Structure formats: C-alpha cells, structure tokens
C-alpha cells in the first residue's frame, strides 16, 4: 500500500515538473511586451533607438541610461551616437553638471555615493550616503561622518564644504535658493536657505519645490487628498493661493497644476497671474522645457504620452508609453516593444 502511494506521488511530481518545463519552453517562444527607452529629437526622429529600460534627460552632453529592470538593473552613460562612454555598473546615478555626476553603488545594503568625471574616474575623494547633481556650483550631499551622520550639507566642485552638514534634507540650488528640511522624513518641514546657509524663508511647509521664474510650488499639509498646493515668492509671500491638488514649477511663463480631487481631477497650465492658459484634461503634465512639455493625454495606461507646445497643441502626438523633458534638443521616451 505504502509502495503504491509513493509511486503515485512520484508520478504526480514528474507530471508537475514536465508541465513546468513545458511552460518555460513555450514561454521562450513568446514575445513578451516590454517598455524600452530611447531618445528622439523635436521632429520625433530617433536619435538613439529604444534599447534601455530607463533613460534620463540629456545633460552636459551625457545621457544616463539603465539596462535591466528597477532594483537590479545598472546605470551608465552614453552619447548622442548611442556609444557607451561610461560602463553600466552603477545602482543609481544623477545628471552630469559642470563635468561631474553623482553615482551610487550598494555595499552591504548601504548606499555609497561619490562623484565621477566624464571619463568615469572618481573626481572627488569624499564619499557620501546621498548626493544630488551640482547646480549653481554647489551639490547637496548626505554626510557619512559619525558626528553628523545622515545630515545634509553642500560642497563645491573641489569637494570643499560650503555649507556644513546640519540639514535634515536639501534640494539643489535654483535661483540662489535651496529647499532645506528641518527634522527628517514625514515629520520634517521645509523652508529655504541661501548659498551662505542662512535661512531666507523659515521651515513651515510640508512640501516645497525649487524656485523657478521667481515662484516656488508649496504644499501646506501632509494630507494627499487635500487641495492645498500654491505658490510663494522669494520673500515667502503667497502669490497664488493654496488651491490645487498638485503643482509643478513655472517655465516659459506657465506651470502645470492639478485641478480637482485625485480620482476626478486633471492637469491644466496656469500663468503667473493664476489664469488657466491650457485647459484641464491631461492625466499627467510636465513643465515646459525648450518650448515643449511632456504630457499624458489619457488616463488609461498605454501609448498616450506626447509633447505639447506653449499653446497646448499636441506636436509630437501621444504614441509613447512614457516621456520626459527635452534637454539639449533631445528627450527620452518609452515605447512598448516585444522581446
């Protein structure tokens, strides 16, 4: 009886193994849809064919790309000809600015950041637990020294501390000001400092974006369902009341804002006087960059990303699965391919 049962179990196991093998063998013959990224010019022509799993806007003549899915893929840098200039070996990267870019590799589950030059060589001796790209001559970095571990400060392009690490968080400098975080995480509140590290606008906001064209987008409360995004000027004065579900930076005189609730709202573009210039109806919208803005035209997932001009005309029509900013005449876009 026991022998018969063992034979029956063995037979079942073999059948299951055969079925699994057949599925894998069959799957090898199926072309599975996958999102791949490349770069287009303003005519919609491919500059770099879609090959990578992620791509960032061009900066300083270098394009950051990732091969492999998020979590295990590796980043490196290519040029406009698609040639690999810096091998894809990093877990995260930032953009090149002033010839330097922050890169990260994980070591024993810890993030180790440093800066490289355009040859891929380590440009600064210091290492950090977090780093942003340089902007206006300074880069926000997260300290690793035991005394001030986890605090943010700013270094110059020679690796010298300009603002000592004392901040719970920080953004890059824009128009002479940078966001700083008092406290950390969800308990922190945001304000703005100048390049000497002096507080210009006291920390009192839940979220604060960089200044562009004299305005910064601000959110008052941590409640994501509350429509309380608005804009302040560099003196901290409210210039556009806190009334939007979300708000992004001004560029070319316009800013994308989300009007309505999370489930029923959509994106529009306003001017500095809070007048709606491009009517709402977009499911996602980026700020204008080099005269064009990446937008998602429909709420359904799929190939519905494209680019609009300042008048709201769709000039590179919604046929991409993802899109980002035009920089240096090209933009990264995603397409659905089959492999």
pLDDT reading at 21 higher than 60: no
Q: Is 187 exposed, middle or buried (0-12, 13-18, 19+ CB in 10 A)?
A: exposed
- Residue 82, class by beta-carbon neighbours within 10 Å (0-12 exposed, 13-18 middle, 19+ buried)? middle
User: From CA 189, how far away is CA 183, in angstroms rounded?
Assistant: 7
Residue 31 has a pLDDT of 58
* Residue 305 · residue 297 · CB < 8 Å: yes
pLDDT, tens digit, 9 for 90 and up, residues 86-107: 999 999 999 999 999 999 999 8
Mean pLDDT within 180-187: 82
CA dihedral (203, 206, 209, 215) positive or negative: negative
What's the number of CA atoms in the CB half-sphere (13 Å) around residue 123? 21
The pLDDT score that the predictor gives to residue 263 is 77
User: 23 — phi, psi (to 5°)?
Assistant: -65, -45
The answer to whether residue 192 scores a pLDDT higher than 80 is yes
- In this prediction the pTM is 0.87
pLDDT tens digit string along 42-72? 999 999 999 999 999 999 999 999 999 888 8
With bands split at pLDDT 50, 70 and 90, how would you rate the model's confidence at 118? very high
DSSP string, 273-332: TS-EEEEEEESEEPPPBTTBEEEE-SSSSSS-EEEE-TT--EEEEEEESEE---BTTEEE
Per-residue pLDDT at 2: 40
């Amino acid at each position: 009886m026991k022998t018969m049962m063992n034979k029956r179990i063995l037979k079942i196991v073999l059948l299951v193994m055969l079925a699994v093998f057949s599925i894998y063998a069959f799957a090898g013959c199926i072309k599975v849809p996958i999102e791949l990224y490349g770069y287009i010019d303003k005519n919609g022509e491919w500059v770099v064919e879609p090959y990578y799993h992620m791509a960032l806007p061009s900066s300083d003549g270098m394009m950051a790309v990732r091969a492999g899915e998020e979590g295990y893929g590796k980043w490196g840098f290519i040029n406009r000809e698609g040639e690999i200039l810096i091998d894809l070996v990093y877990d995260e990267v930032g953009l090149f600015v002033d010839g330097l870019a922050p890169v990260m590799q994980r070591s024993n589950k810890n993030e180790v950041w440093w800066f490289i030059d355009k040859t891929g060589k380590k440009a600064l001796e210091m290492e950090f637990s977090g780093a942003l790209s340089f902007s206006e001559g300074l880069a926000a970095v997260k300290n690793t020294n035991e005394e001030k571990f986890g605090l943010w400060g700013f270094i110059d392009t020679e690796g010298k501390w300009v603002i000592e690490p004392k901040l719970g968080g920080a953004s890059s400098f824009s128009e002479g000001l940078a966001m700083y975080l008092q406290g950390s995480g969800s308990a922190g509140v945001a304000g703005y400092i100048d390049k000497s590290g002096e507080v210009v606008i006291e920390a009192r906001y839940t979220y604060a974006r960089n200044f562009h064209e004299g305005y910064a987008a601000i959110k008052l409360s941590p409640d994501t369902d509350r429509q309380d995004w608005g804009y302040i000027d560099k003196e901290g004065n409210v210039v556009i009341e806190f009334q939007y579900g979300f708000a992004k930076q001004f560029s070319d005189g316009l800013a994308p804002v989300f009007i309505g609730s999370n489930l029923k709202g959509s994106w529009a573009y306003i001017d500095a006087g809070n007048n709606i210039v491009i009517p709402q109806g977009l499911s996602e919208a980026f700020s204008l960059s080099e005269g064009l803005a990446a937008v998602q035209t429909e709420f359904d997932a799929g190939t519905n990303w494209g680019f609009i001009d300042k008048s709201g005309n769709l000039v590179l029509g919604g046929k991409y699965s993802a899109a980002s900013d035009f920089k240096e005449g090209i933009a990264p876009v995603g397409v659905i391919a089959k492999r």
